[in-house]
Each structure stands twice: as structure tokens, then as C-alpha cells.
Amino acid sequence: MTIQEELQATISDMVQPGKGILAADESTPTITKRFQAVGIECNESTRRAYRQLLLTTPGVGEFIAGVILFEETLAQQADDGTPLPELARRAGIVPGIKVDKGLTALANAPGDKITQGLDGLAERLAGYKEQGARFAKWRAVYPIGPANPTALGIQTNAEVLARYAAICQEAGIVPIVEPEVLIDGDHGIAQSEAVVEAAQNEVFAALKRHRVRLEYMILKPSMVVPGKACATKASPEEVAERTVRILRRTVPAAVPSVNFLSGGLSPQEASANLNAMNAGYSNLPWLLSFSYARALQEPPMATWQGKAENIGAAQAAFIKRARLNGLAQRGQYQAAMEQD
């Protein structure tokens, strides 16, 4: 199989109506915080058990087409010795891998961050591919404040995202490009919209410079929402209107799928906003779907609590959220379904 055929096969498997991506790639510090919040001890064993729980949920492949794994998870095995990426494949889910190495301060751009990890990326991708990964994810962040993001921050993060995407495609790995506009702060939705537009414009200019094939990538953007401390909240319909408007301005039609991050939204908000886009707008060139972490995992993690006797109930909570987001992808979600 040629590199192009590999990339196309992965896109075909991941971009499917009614399905999205599970982001289970939390770093050890992040999952430690989330475990501690619900009383779960965080160690290699509990992290493995939890991610096994997700991947062995009956019927999960009906709503989840891809799973982003942390490097540790890619090498772990289920109780019966099956590699966790193989569990995903058996469920009809494409395994992927988070490849960035986290954030550091960007010089000469106070308040902005840059993502590390380009050094040695090609070599690491070759190893991840041998372990079963078929796609990768790289996250850039854009804080909103009185002086942020700076023009330098927007430009530099776009350049790094494009370099990462080009390296991935050369290795036969589909890149998920994630320019996350943070919701921390009291900024209004109009300011958020302006930053999302500027960031995405710069990202696609950089992707073009680096000759990234847009047909073989997935965009993982932020929805246009106000800051979480903003006094004025936005309805799902307003979020949908502003988000789709910016997608139309910035994202070429060649991109096959836009899989939104939940970025601090509640599970219900994430589903309602995605549904409003798919119910309110037709004939868009991209599939509009989800790539959620907390908005899919918050209920099952709280239900599980690290106890074997809670696995069934936790899996039921997980498949419910996966199903509701699958319906939102089709524009068929209703808030009343939360009570079922």
C-alpha cells in the first residue's frame, strides 16, 4: 500500500456519519487531577484499567471511529494480554497517538505558549506506527487576554502545526491539527470569534506553505464560545451560527472532517452545540463531528470510581454519551434524551 493509500484508508475509516473521536490521551498529570477529583488513585494500573474499560464498552464502535491514546496506553495490554490498540481495532476503532510534548512559554510573546516535540518526531512516528497508530494529534493553545494572543503567537503556533502535519503525512500517518482557543477568562463571544478566525486563517496558510494534503488531515478546532467567566452566556444556536461562519471563512472544502474539542464545556453543552450546527446547517463541505475528552469521559469516570463492581455502570454511562454525541453529529440530539 502506498503512503497515499494508507492516508486515504485511515480517513475513510475515521470520517463516518454518526461517529466521532474519543480523546483518551490525557497526560499523566492531567488524568491524575481528574482521577483525584472523583476519588481514584492514579497509577499505571488504574490508568490501564480505566482505558481498558472504555475500549471494551459493548457497542462503542457504533459511535466512536477513532481513539487518541497517550504514549503509555499504546504500549499497555488488557487483562488477557491483548494490546490496547488491538482492543480498539477489534471494536472497529482506529488507534491514534498524541505526539506533542506539551507547552512552554513563547519567547518575546508574554502570555503565549508554544508546543514542543518536533525534534525526533519522524523517528517516534515510525515506532508508533509499528505499535498500531494510524493517526496522530498535536495541540496548540491560544489564550485570550488584553494582549493575547499576540501576532507572533498565532504565526508561530501555525508554523509548528503545519510542520507536524507534513511530517505525519510523509510517514503515512493522518494528522489531527488542533488549534485550541482557550475559554479561560471573561471575554465575550465576539472576541472569541475574532481569535478563532485569526488562528485558523494562519493555520491553513501555513499548511499550504508546507504542502500538507488537506484531504488527508482532520481539523480539531474550538467552538466559538464566550469565556467561562463571561456574564453573558451563548445559546447553542448562537454558538452554531458563529462557529459555522468562521469555518466557512477559514477552512477549505478539501478538509474531510471538523471534529470539535469540548474545551471545558459540560457534556450537555458539548452535545447541544454540536447538534445545533448539524441541525441548522446543511450542504457544508465537511463532516462536523466531535473529538471529546472530558465531555465523553466525565460521567463514566465518576461512575467507575476505580471499583471493579462499577465497570458495567461506567460503561453504560460512557456509551450513553457516545450515543448522544453520535445523534448530535446527525442533528438528531434532544435535551430530553439526557433523562433516558
**Taking the domains of the chain in order of start, what are their residue ranges?**
3-339
H-only helix segments in the chain: 3-14, 28-37, 44-55, 71-74, 84-90, 121-130, 151-170, 189-209, 236-250, 267-280, 294-304, 311-329
Are the C-beta atoms of residues 154 and 176 closer than 8 Å to each other? no
Write down the residue that cell numbers 463514566 correspond to. Answer: 300
Query: Per the residue annotation, which of 178, 180, 202, 298 is the catalytic one?
Result: 178
Residue 20 has φ and ψ, to the nearest 5°, of: -140, -160
Asked if 179 and 211 touch (Cβ cutoff 8 Å), the reply is no
d(CA 209, CA 232): 39
Given the residues 19, 98, 137, 220, the one annotated as active site: 220
Active site residue 33: no
Distances in Å between the Cα of 63 and the Cα atoms of 11, 98, 109, 319 are 16, 21, 41, 8
Whether residue 292 contacts residue 23, with contact meaning beta carbons closer than 8 Å, is answered with yes
Residue 260: beta bridge partners? 290
Give φ, ψ of 231 to 5 degrees.
-70, -25
Using an 8 Å Cβ cutoff, are 24 and 322 in contact? no
pTM of the model: 0.97
Radius of gyration of the chain (CA): 19
Class of domain 3-339: alpha beta
Tens place of pLDDT per residue across the chain (340 aa):
899 999 999 999 999 999 999 999 999 999 999 999 999 999 999 999 999 999 999 999 999 999 999 999 999 999 999 999 999 999 999 999 999 999 999 999 999 999 999 999 999 999 999 999 999 999 999 999 999 999 999 999 999 999 999 999 999 999 999 999 999 999 999 999 999 999 999 999 999 999 999 999 999 999 999 999 999 999 999 999 999 999 999 999 999 999 999 989 999 999 999 999 999 999 999 999 999 999 999 999 999 999 999 999 999 999 999 999 999 999 999 999 999 8
Residue found under cell 469516570: 301
129 is catalytic: no
Angstrom CA distances, 124 to 5, 65, 78, 212, stand at: 21, 24, 23, 19
Per-residue pLDDT tens digits for 253-264: 999 999 999 989
> Taking the alpha carbons of 98, 99, 104, 108 in that order, is the dihedral positive or negative?
negative
pLDDT tens readout for residues 208-243 = 999 999 999 999 999 999 999 999 999 999 999 999
In whole angstroms, what is the distance from residue 139 CA to residue 152 CA?
17
